[in-house]
Each structure stands twice: as C-alpha cells, then as structure tokens.
C-alpha cells in the first residue's frame, strides 16, 4: 500500500509540474507576443527605432530564459524562435516594412504554437 501512495504522490507532483510549466510558458509567450505586436504597430507608424527597441527587449526576455526553455522544450522549436527573432531584427535594421511584417507574423505564430503545444488539452494528450 505504501508503494501505491508513493506512486500517487509522484504522479501528482509530475502533473503539478506539467501544469506549472504550461502556465509559465503561456505567461512568457503572452508577454513576448504583446511586445512584438507593439513593435509591429510602431513599425507601421514609421517609428523604426521604437520597433527595434521593443523587438530587442522581447529578444532579451527570450534569451534570459534560454536555459529553462532548452531543458523543457524541443530544441528545434526554440531554435526556430531564436532564428525568427534574428530575422525580424535584421529586417528592422534594413527598414524593410513588408518583409519585417511577414517575419514578425511568423515569429508570433511560432510563439503561439509553442505555447499551445505545452497546454494540457485532449488534443495534446492523445
């Protein structure tokens, strides 16, 4: 009976850790999404410096969590987001409005997909 209790406690702990990770990742990607949407609005208004500053701030936030993200997520997913930030920043440097908007949209979609993949849903469990 003792082994059953230990197994139950371990399963509950793993479930709690999974839910906490999903919540934290959702919170992080939500903040990044907000910053990138602000950057898009600034670029559309012609404020390239402001757009670049907002994107760089989001990129720094992503990099500050790099170890955590690489441990808990697939490296291919985190690498795509890293590359997406680099692409968006390059287009901001060149002031390529259309290309930047497309790169930013891809980056936003990747963040959304990353967050969605970690949520506890029936689709993800099956």
Dihedral angle, C-alpha 72, 78, 81, 85, nearest 10 °: 100
Banded model confidence at residue 96, pLDDT cuts 50, 70, 90: confident
Q: What is the pTM of this model?
A: 0.86
Contacts of 66 (CB under 8 A, 6+ apart): 78
Tell me: the pLDDT tens digits for 38-69?
999 999 999 999 999 999 999 999 999 989 99
Tell me: the pLDDT tens digits for 18-39?
889 999 999 999 999 999 999 9
| CATH number of the domain where residue 39 is located | 1.20.120
Q: How many domains does the chain have?
A: 1
Domain region containing 77: 2-125
Tell me: the pLDDT tens digits for 101-126?
999 999 999 999 988 887 777 777 66
């Amino acid at each position: 009976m003792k082994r059953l209790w230990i197994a139950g406690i371990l399963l509950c702990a793993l479930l709690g850790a999974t839910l906490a990770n999903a919540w934290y990742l959702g919170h992080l990607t939500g903040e990044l999404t907000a910053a990138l949407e602000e950057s898009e609005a600034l670029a559309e208004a012609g404020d390239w410096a402001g757009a670049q500053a907002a994107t760089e701030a989001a990129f720094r936030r992503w990099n500050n969590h790099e170890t955590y993200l690489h441990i808990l997520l697939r490296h291919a997913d985190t690498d795509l987001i890293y590359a997406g930030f680099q692409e968006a920043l390059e287009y901001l440097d060149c002031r390529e409005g259309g290309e930047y908007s497309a790169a930013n949209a891809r980056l936003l979609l990747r963040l959304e997909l990353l967050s969605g993949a970690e949520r506890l849903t029936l689709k993800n469990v099956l």
